[in-house]
Structure 1
């Protein structure tokens, strides 16, 4: 039998859940609106946008901005360069960071504290752009895809997070595996990696987003058109449209405005990462708490 007090508590709980749901829905809408506006602006008449006539539906629908981008033969090449850079960067970064974090998670590692201190120092201080460029040049990486991967292969923050996650794996699992004759490589691959999948997927998402969005290192370390990443290609295209407008090139302005090119570029650059996120969301929800609880 449900008492009056129980009914009151249930009513309060239901009311609280409704308020929380409404608040989260409002935040979700506010987060989605900028992306939705960019998508609308990329397929609408830029003149109507400037006049404030763009609301919830596209006005003067056209795909000329996307056609101009896709018709450029450099687009597909730059897209593949960015995909290659992201895949290579993801693989190299995860391999190095996972192995370092696994080693540092072992309390019996000789010099563990010294190694950890050395890694933390790099988190606070770095050599700067010029020394890093000189190192990349001296190692022969200039104008190669590896110049976009190796200089940022180690993230101190990611190593610390992964080390904390590995430390939470029960020692009894490792001890049991060693009794059965397993070596460190087998233990790492068959025990630690499967148990750490949420953390790995979360860190992997951060790494992939970094490599997908990065373009400053491409500006510094590459000059060949064969290594032009997607972000750099889209930036150059926007600059070309704005220069054409300043020079009074009416033919270019009448076809596609710089505003349409900018919004279409933002949408295209963001779309791949947004498309991938739903498939790893279940891992991300668990992985965002990496390192939050220890013991």
Structure 2
């Protein structure tokens, strides 16, 4: 007895040797955005472009002004390209001992401070990532407490003074050695690392210090690069700490130099006069100083950019 197929059931044609099983382009349903959605996207794009222009224009003007002469700066209130390129401002500041000394001091403090702060933060975050650590909840509560209630400027100054750190470069590093927010994010990242490589290392006889340096840190490059950039930017741009803790002008950092140049009415006494007959272009020197103080830290970002986006998100979900 034969079995008949239902009338609405059709057999698909056999696939030939040249048949492509993938659906034809456009065969699927296309997502169509409504008019309101397109208008919303257009407004967002226009607002973001406007904010970008407002943010970049002052910086571009400072760069252009640093290459302009004093007469052009006085006659043109705003421009993005100088008529005549004048390098006298850069020649002047790079020829002074005060600027070069402050630049070297800032580079040294930033490099050493970033290493110290990152080392202290990671070594504290690693044991706190262990859920079986005795007193872990108490320590985490104290860390969170410091995020909500900070000591303030005067108590911090008194602590630095009692520790004998005044007029010392360590006063620019140790008071902000561990950021509670950064500590919690790195701790969360360590908790998300797989346990198998760490357990295998312990079975092979590796100590906890060995596990930390050989297993945990190599797996943590994205977040280490991210917070190294955060710490470096914070140290590089800090002028409050040198203002409070350093009374010796020979120990000034670059940001203190920038502050003095931008607020001073006598650049010869602040920057240093090389030639008594030379009148420095005051506005151009201020612009050039700001540019030189900003560009170096911007050049660090491309080297860490491949880790930056990933490190911003990793460790920020789980508690």
Q: Does 1:57 align with 2:70?
A: no
Number of the residue aligned with 1:248: none
Q: How much does 1:32 deviate?
A: 3.9
Q: Residue 49 and residue 290 in structure 1: after superposition, are their counterparts in 2 closer, same or farther (change >3 A)? A: farther
Q: Which of 131, 134, 140 is the aligned partner of 2:155? A: 131
> 2:248: which partner in 1?
224
Q: Distance in 2 between matches of 1:42 and 1:215?
A: 22
Compared with structure 1, are the counterparts of its residues 10 and 173 closer, same or farther at alpha carbon in structure 2 (3 Å cutoff)?
A: farther
Task: Please give the alpha-carbon distance, in whole angstroms, between the structure 2 residues aligned to 1:288 and 1:232.
Answer: 30
CA distance in 2, matches of 1:275, 1:44: 24
Question: Which range moved further: 200-209 or 117-126?
Answer: 117-126
CA 1:10–1:210 in 2, change beyond 3 Å: closer, same or farther?
same
Seen in structure 2, the aligned counterparts of structure 1 residues 198 and 30 have a Cα distance that, compared at 3 Å, is farther
2:11 is the alignment partner of 1:2: no
CA–CA separation in structure 2 for the residues paired with 1:54 and 1:65: 18
Give the secondary-structure state (helix, strand or coil) at the position aligned to 1:288.
Answer: helix
Q: 1:11 to 1:157 in 2, by over 3 A?
A: closer
For residues 74-131 of structure 1, what are the alpha-carbon distances to aligned partners after superposition, in whole Å with 9 as ceiling and x for unaligned?
1111111111111111111011100111111000100000000011111111222222
Alignment of 1:240-259 (within 5 A): 240-241=264-265, 255-259=279-283
Rounded Cα–Cα distance in structure 2 between residues aligned with 1:120 and 1:3: 54
CA distance in 1, matches of 2:25, 2:261: 68
Secondary structure in 1 aligned to 2:101? helix
SS of residue in 1 equivalent to 2:264: helix
Give me the whole-angstrom Cα distance separating, in 2, the residues matched to 1:221 and 1:2: 68
The residue that corresponds to 1:85 in the other structure is 109
- Where 1:272 maps in the other structure, the secondary structure is helix
- Corresponding position of 1:239: 263
SS of the equivalent of 1:201 reads helix
TM-score (norm 2): 0.79
Alpha-carbon spacing, 1:197–1:90, altered in 2? closer, same or farther (3 Å): same
Please give the per-residue CA displacement for 1:225-251, whole angstroms capped at 9, x wherever unaligned: 33111111222233334688xxxxxx9
TM-score of the pair, normalised by structure 1? 0.85
Q: Is the 8 A contact 2:186 2:223 kept in 1?
A: yes
Residues 241-268 of structure 1: per-residue CA shift (max 9 Å, x gap): 4688xxxxxx99x944443222212111
Instruction: Report the CA distance between 1:191 and its aligned residue.
Output: 1.2
Deviations 1:203-246 (A, max 9, x none): 000100111111111111111133111111222233334688xx
Give 1:60 deviation, angstroms: 3.5
Q: Is the 8 A contact 1:38 1:267 kept in 2?
A: yes
Structure 2 unaligned segments of length 5 or more: list them.
1-23, 269-274
Q: Rg larger in 1 or in 2?
A: 2
Shift of 1:162: 0.3
Asked if 2 retains the 8 angstrom alpha-carbon contact of 1:48 and 1:54, the reply is: no
In proportion to residue count, which structure has more helix? 1
> Could you say which residue in structure 2 is the equivalent of 1:166?
190
Contact 1:241–1:257 (CA<8 Å) still a contact in 2?
Answer: no
Distance 2:217 2:32 in 1: 42
Deviation sequence 1:143-199 (CA, Å, 0-9, x none): 111111111111111101100111111222222221221111111111111111110
**In structure 1, which of residues 254, 272, 281 is the aligned counterpart of residue 305 of structure 2?**
281
| Equivalent residue number for residue 150 of structure 1 | 174
**Displacement after TM superposition at 1:277 (Å):** 1.0
- Cα RMSD (Å): 3.0
**Which shows bigger deviation, 50-59 or 95-104?**
50-59
Is residue 2:209 matched to residue 1:179?
A: no
